[in-house]
Amino acid sequence: MTTSQLRLHSRPWWGLAGFAAAVFAAAAIGALGVAGTAAEYESLRRPGWAPPSALFGPAWTILYAMIALAGWLAWRRAGFTGPLWTYAAQLVLNAAWTPLFFGFGRYGLAFADIALLWVLIAATVAGFWRVRRVAAWLLVPYWLWVSYAAALNLAIWLLNRG
């Protein structure tokens, strides 16, 4: 490793706190958007494969921890370069989805958001793959969950139109 690579690789652990804070901010915006919406979710026409609302909190807690760790690992290796800008953009779309879906009941707009989010997660995985493969792998469960959530969003939108 060159001196420059060693310096990037040895970025301090405190950087993880910054990534955790960024992910927490995205999650908090989402949490504000879902306060008291379990009844709303249960009242929607949903496909038979829709999960109970109680599953979302634990799933997202694990995913958000993995998202923060992935970002930090990529940052440690490469600094705040292109893949981290894509990472930041997908966090913004992640934060926007819940208010769109639950806060405003705009299921079609939420679907457009989550479709673009899916593309940005794919781009982030590809970028992280070139930087640090473990960081890319940490995002795969998130990408799969968002794939499922996008299909669920689309189904709910179609079932509740009109």
Averaged over 110-127, what is the pLDDT? 98
Tokens linked to 7: 């310096």
pLDDT for res 162: 66
**3-159: which CATH architecture?**
Up-down Bundle (1.20)
Please name the residues in contact with 85: beta carbons below 8 A apart, sequence gap of 6 or more. none
Domain ranges, ordered by start, for the chain:
3-159
Q: Evaluate if pTM is beyond 0.85.
A: yes
pLDDT for res 61: 93
Averaged over 80-86, what is the pLDDT? 93
- Provide the percentage of residues in the chain whose pLDDT is more than 90: 62
